[in-house]
Amino acid sequence: MKFGKDFSSEMVSEWQQAYVDYKYLKTLVKDINRFKRKTNLHGGQISLSSTVVEIEDGITTAPIQVSSTASQRYETTFLMTAEKGGEYELVFFRRLDDEFNKVEKFYREKVDEVVKEVAVLNKQMDALIAFRLKMKEESTVEMARFALHGVVSPAELAKNPSMKVHMEAIEEGGSSRAGRRSDEDDYYTDEEDHNDVFFTPANNLSKMKSSSSAFIEVLDSIKINNTKEALQSNTKSVLKVSNHTELKFSRDNLRKIEEKLICVFVEFHRKLWYLKSYSFLNVLALSKILTKYDKITSRDAAKSYMKMVDKSCLGSSDEVMKLMENVEATFIKQFTNGNRTKGMNILRPKPKRERHRLTFSTGFLGGCMFSLIVALVAIVRTRNILQDDGQKQYMNTMFPLYSLFGFIVLHMTMYAANIYFWRQYRVNYSFIFGFKQGTELGYKQVLFVGFSIGALALLCVLANLDMETDPKTKDYQALTELLPLFLLIAMFVVLVVPFNIFYRSSRFFFLTTLFHMLAAPLYKVTLPDFFLADQLCSQAQTLRSIEFYICYYGWGDFKQRKNTCKDSQVFNTFLFIVSAFPFFSRFLQVQYIDLY
């Protein structure tokens, strides 16, 4: 794979605009090359000083000079503008400077962000350790006092080694405890002498809008306050305990706090990993493009320019690496009892491998669906089923029953196509929809589920045709009519089964989103909620088919294969209600648009 494609594939989707525009810089280098060749073809002899410019006294200098301004911008002076084609090279270096300054500024801002976030994370760990100590020695007055302190003084730590906070290693530069007070005034009230800590959910911890704001959103959920009266009410709030319930320092509450902090660490570690990758990729891109330039122009500009890059914040800052190492060490010690393998598996989950078994099964089921459709058409034609006397009644009954599965398969196929193109165009759909990391379904998994439903539904259709009537009595069998109901019940059971099988995380996510959609006025609307409502708006006929199931099997029409549902005024009325319900649910969600 060429570097340009590899560079694009490794980008962080949310930061694409902040990367070096390698493609455009490569275009400028090609323009320089095109001019050189054009000039040579016309007989023009261009005198190029291959790697240096020779001065009369024998001293040599590079073709460029790089300097930095007071505003922390880097500027390159091209010393060979007098040569033919020099204007092309001048444009190249100006654009190169713009790209590098853009990248360096973005990286510096992100490093400053993570340093501030580390300072806040230290306080969260202080509060967690105080909570643990309260749980450990609740009977002592000293431990009760420590549990109410967000920051433990060095004197207290000296007296109580077990209370030592293990986040000192994270502090770098401006993030040290002594120097971070001014950066965190928002997290303290005026009376800092008391340092009473409580946990307040300013935002929903599970809903993170972007990788850069997710960590801050979680950290804002745990704030420092000095009013003792607010301690219990706000602790209850973060733990979702009713104000009428007495607050308890229980293991269950401790577990909930630890789970939230684990999410914070994972998101923060991922951000550090993105920053590390961002720095490496951009430095590599600059090196690659300058190497191409030197090869075409026979100059030695890369050495001087890359020396400047290496001295910049982008190339020389090791702060991110130190933060990453110390965050890993802290997480392993505090949350996995020193088990490094377990801790790193949480912080750096392994990417899912595409199993050949899944590919084979999906293709096999797709082939089965095609074969069963061909068999169905052949049976209908050879038996002249459509020419029988009761074919109209048969189709009016069977079509609504089995079309339900057809609509489901069609919808899942379209959703799988969406996932495929999202991945092709590097849309981070798992983050956008809020799927748990590593549990999101790929397009092959979705197709596998859809083709499984389709194959089972077609088998039921063929079985129904084969057992349509008793050959002796010419009477209908009730069992044949129950096949689609059995399949629908089986699908529902698989959907709600609590065991860790059949993509449990995705099933529960769907059920939760469906419940939020149905109870739209009671929940804050998120992207998955109104996305599902939008999808159901196009599935009105599917909902009507479910209503037909209730009528057909609930009223006992299946015993005689009679369809009397449409004769019922109640059924016809509910046809409109059921069809309009997704639109009404979507309408209820719109009222929350002003909240964002």
Q: For 48-85, how does the pLDDT look when each residue is reduced to its tens digit (9 = 90+)?
A: 443 334 333 333 456 777 766 666 777 877 776 667 76
Cα–Cα distance, 79 to 71 (Å, whole number): 23
* pLDDT tens digits for range 210-220: 433 434 343 34
Tell me the chain's radius of gyration from C-alpha atoms: 33
Query: Which pLDDT score is estimated for 507?
Result: 93
Alpha-carbon distance 226 to 196, whole Å? 5
| More confidently predicted of 395 and 35 | 35
Q: What is the pLDDT of residue 33?
A: 85
Question: Quick one: residue 370, left, alpha or beta (phi over 0 = left, psi -120 to 50 = alpha)?
Answer: alpha
Q: Which two tokens stand for residue 329?
A: 């060490």
Percent helix, strand, coil in the chain, to 5, is 70, 5, 30
What average pLDDT does the chain have?
A: 75
- pLDDT band for 184, please (50, 70, 90 cuts): very low
| pLDDT above 80 for 477 | no
For 338, the token pair is 């020193």
User: Mapping DSSP to helix (H, G, I), strand (E, B) and coil, where does residue 164 land?
Assistant: coil
- Read off the pLDDT of residues 268-297 as tens digits, 9 standing for 90 and up: 888 898 899 999 999 999 999 888 888 888
The share of the chain scoring above pLDDT 90, in percent, equals 17
- Cα dihedral 232/236/238/242 (nearest 10): -150
* Torsion angle of the four alpha carbons 293, 298, 302, 303, in this order, in degrees rounded to the nearest 10: 170
Burial of 267 (0-12, 13-18, 19+ CB in 10 A): buried
Query: Is residue 178 packed enough to be buried (19+ CB in 10 Å), middle (13-18) or exposed (0-12)?
Result: exposed
> Which residue would you say has higher pLDDT here, 413 or 128?
413
User: Any long-range contacts for 588-591 (C-beta under 8 Å, 24+ apart)?
Assistant: 588/520, 588/521, 589/517, 589/520, 589/525, 589/529, 589/530, 589/533, 591/521
Asked if residues 286 and 22 have their Cβ atoms less than 8 Å apart, the reply is: no
> Counting Cβ atoms within 10 Å, is residue 451 exposed (0-12), middle (13-18) or buried (19+)?
buried
The better pLDDT of the pair 498, 51 is held by 498
Find which of 406-410, 472-476, 500-504 is predicted with most confidence, using mean pLDDT. Answer: 406-410
Q: Which amino acid is at 142?
A: E
Q: Rounded to whole angstroms, how far apart are CA atoms 370 and 377? A: 11
**Phi, psi at 577, each rounded to 5°:** -65, -45
Burial pattern 297-317, b for ≥16 Cβ within 10 A else e, equals bebbbbebbbebbeebebbee
Residue 469 has pLDDT above 70, yes or no: no
Rounded CA separation 112/100 (Å): 18
Give mean pLDDT, residues 86-108.
87
Torsion 513-514-515-516 (CA) sign? positive
- Tokens standing for residue 72: 């922390």
* Amino acid 317: pLDDT: 73
| Contact partners, residue 423, CB within 8 Å, separation at least 6 | 429, 442, 443
d(CA 195, CA 149) in angstroms, rounded, equals 5
Question: How far apart, in Å, are the Cα atoms of 127 and each of 164, 173, 197, 220, 269?
Answer: 12, 23, 7, 14, 20
pLDDT score of 202: 33
Which two three-digit tokens encode residue 38? Answer: 């054009």
pLDDT band at 447 (very low <50, low <70, confident <90, very high): very high
- Strands annotated E in 465-551: none
The two tokens of residue 133 are 């100590």
Question: How far from chain centre, in Å, is Cα 416?
Answer: 17
Residues 6+ apart with CB under 8 A from 144: 134, 138
pLDDT at 480 over 90: no
> Tokens 């290496």 correspond to what residue?
310
Residue 365 pLDDT greater than 60, yes or no: yes
Tell me, what's the pLDDT at 102?
A: 92
| Measured CA distances, 482 to 461, 468, 485 (Å) | 11, 12, 5
Asked if pLDDT for residue 143 goes beyond 90, the answer is no
Nearest to 281 by CA among 67, 589, 57, 3: 3
Q: In this predicted model, which residue has the larger pLDDT, 105 or 215?
A: 105
In the block, which residue shows the tokens 């609930």?
554
Give the pLDDT band (50/70/90) at residue 443.
very high
The pTM score is 0.63
pLDDT surpasses 70 at 357: yes
- CA–CA distances in Å: residue 45 to residues 38, 83, 299: 11, 11, 17
